[in-house]
Structure 1
Amino acid sequence: MPETETGSAGADADGPAEAGGGLDEVADELYGVRPDEFIPRRDEAVARAREAGDRDLARAIGRLRRPTRAAWLSNLLARERPDQLEGLLGLAEGLADAQRTLDGAALRQLSSQRRKLVGAVAQEASRLARAEHEPVGDGLLRELQEILEAALADPDIADEVRSGRLTRSVSYSGFGPGARADAAPRPARTRPAPPRREPAEPAPEPEPDEDERERERRERERRAERERRERALAEARAEEETARDRQFAAEGARDDAVAARDDARDRVARLAAELESAREAERAAADAARDAETAARAAGREAGAAASRTARAQAALDELDGS
């Protein structure tokens, strides 16, 4: 079984359906850049999605995990040498069949071919990485070989490798698919029995010399130190992922609060504009009322003066008629 859990962009970034197309495009771009460029490019993509108003896409992009350097090498192969990678993964079926049927001869032949192909494909990945100005040491090359070996042993890991979006290193500690319960070993070719000889006295087991014991001790210490550092790396990655999750949750809450604040400000602005317009209308109506009042008074005075003139004219006419 795989010693470490496999991871790819598809599993880590379950964005909403409406953001799927954009997320795929961004993921294809991000998992094609060098490891040291991944985080800044991802942050730029998150910022672009937020500026476009797509907060769901921004969160989905933010959940995309940076690949380990070995996973990046695997992704590089999937992108640049898919045929060569598929040729290697094509051995998986033959290896599985030989393992299930306990065909030792076929298994030995395929295992030898597998080792050669794994080494050749890993070297090709190293050449591709150097072309990208990414140095590849022996340790990193071994880590990539472990990924390829795991892909040959596990179809799910093979699919992750083919996707070009692997995020973590994986290894395989088993011996491939298990044999069938009814499987029996194929008989080996019979050879003539060698002539009988008198048993010789068994040679004493040589005592390991001091240098050998020292090498074994150093190797044990090296393995223990590697395991300790791998645990520390796994813990650091888990803490980073947890912190990232908290960051994205906080940023989502912030975005919601900012949107609510902006909506409230827009409503206040609309109401303030309506209030100012109403006040302008009130002032205009008040001015019109004052002008109308003034005009009404002037008209009243003119009407009074006209009435006085009419009365005087009537009196003058009456006086003439009476004389």
Structure 2
Amino acid sequence: MPDHSEPDTALDAAADELYSVPPDEFIGARDAAVAAARERGDRELAKAIGRLRRPTKAAWLANLLARHRAAQLDGLLSLAAGLADAQRTLDGTALRQLSSKRHQLVAAMAREAGRLAQEAGDPAAEGVLRELQGILDAALARPEIAEQVRSGRLTRTLSYTGFGPEADPDAVPAPAPRPAPPEPERETERDAAPADDGAADRARRARLQAERDRRAEALTAAEDEEAAARAKQDTDEAAREEAVTAREDARRRVAELTAELEAAREQERTAATAARDAETAAKASARAVGVAASRTARAQARLEELDAQLSAASPAE
């Protein structure tokens, strides 16, 4: 993570802007900032911007709090000293009171971060809000994590279990390694060479220059390797978040389909009952038609018999 002691530098300005955008937009915004720096001819700035890491969703929520709720965040983190004192003195009453207050404030800050994410157009799932609570708990336990949270440029999801934060070592900025002290000249060489021997000085400078060139090449190779690793990490983290989102969408879809299936089954049961009732009614109607038809036939036969008798009894004309 870059040094933030001079917030007006071009790198700090770029970082502040990048860490304010939703994680899904980070890579595109970072690439655009790198391209802009290269167009201005500032290769060092472009390389530094390219090293900025894409934040996780939970880390982005913590950055939102640092930017938009700094006073409330400081109020929460101010509990750290009291918690540490209570733990050192084994003051159980104070520790219970402070722990209860911590849980309340952490939950409230997580809810507020959820509202900020909603306003930013990138709502956070409950699982992400729980990860944010883990970050805030870690910030209360470890001062160096609290500083990362306050910076508004957190990139990793951290948690605390009582033995330190569970995080990638890269999550905590490490100081730049001190340059190795130059090897002392061997006394035999110093004594053998005259003080005004220019050839010895030139040879020594040549050796130093060759060593510097070797170290510069090693630095370039290390930077290239780091850039490739960060790009791979960005890709993997993006894939992870996409997979989590897809899983949550699938779960919601399963719930919806389950509800639809149960509704369809209920409709099927109702329709089956109605079909059985209709079939029973149709059979009853068919029997009634048969009975009525028999009666009609008997009545027709009796009428025809009577007509025949009347015809026989009538006088012949």
TM-score (norm 1): 0.50
Aligned-pair distance for 1:20?
8.1
Per-residue deviation, residues 135-154 of structure 1 (Å, max 9, x unmatched): 21111011000000000000
Which letter maps to 1:95?
L
Higher relative contact order (CA 8 A, sep 6+): 1
Q: Distance in 2 between matches of 1:149 and 1:94?
A: 14
Q: Distance in 1 between matches of 2:53 and 2:13?
A: 15
Per-residue deviation, residues 37-57 of structure 1 (Å, max 9, x unmatched): 111111111111111111111
What are the within-5 Å matches in structure 2 for residues 237-316 of structure 1? 245-246=227-228
1:81 and 2:63 equivalent? no
Which letter maps to 2:152?
G
Which letter maps to 2:98?
L
Q: Distance in 2 between matches of 1:81 and 1:109?
A: 24
Q: Distance in 2 between matches of 1:146 and 1:30?
A: 23
What residue in structure 1 maps to residue 50 of structure 2? Answer: 62
Give 1:35's match in structure 2, choosing from 23, 27, 30: 23
What residue in structure 2 maps to residue 10 of structure 1? Answer: 2
Unaligned runs of 5+ in 1: 1-8, 177-226, 235-240, 249-323
In our comparison, the structure showing a higher alpha carbon Rg is 1
Determine if contact 1:10/1:165 at 8 Å carries over to the other structure. Answer: no
Q: CA RMSD in A?
A: 3.0
1:25 and 2:13 equivalent? yes
Q: Distance in 2 between matches of 1:72 and 1:173?
A: 22
Q: Distance in 1 between matches of 2:148 and 2:227?
A: 23
Per-residue deviation, residues 272-293 of structure 1 (Å, max 9, x unmatched): xxxxxxxxxxxxxxxxxxxxxx
The 1:96–1:55 alpha-carbon spacing in structure 2 relative to 1, beyond 3 Å, is: same
Aligned-pair distance for 1:124?
0.3
Q: Distance in 2 between matches of 1:174 and 1:247?
A: 30
Residue aligned with 1:10, SS: coil
Which letter maps to 1:245?
A
The 1:21–1:107 alpha-carbon spacing in structure 2 relative to 1, beyond 3 Å, is: same
Q: Distance in 1 between matches of 2:118 and 2:49?
A: 28
The 1:246–1:133 alpha-carbon spacing in structure 2 relative to 1, beyond 3 Å, is: closer
Identity of aligned residues (%): 64
Aligned-pair distance for 1:175?
6.9
Determine if contact 1:91/1:152 at 8 Å carries over to the other structure. Answer: yes
Give 2:79's match in structure 1, choosing from 78, 88, 91: 91
TM-score (norm 2): 0.51
The 1:107–1:60 alpha-carbon spacing in structure 2 relative to 1, beyond 3 Å, is: same
The 1:140–1:243 alpha-carbon spacing in structure 2 relative to 1, beyond 3 Å, is: farther
Count, aligned residues: 176
Aligned-pair distance for 1:10?
2.4
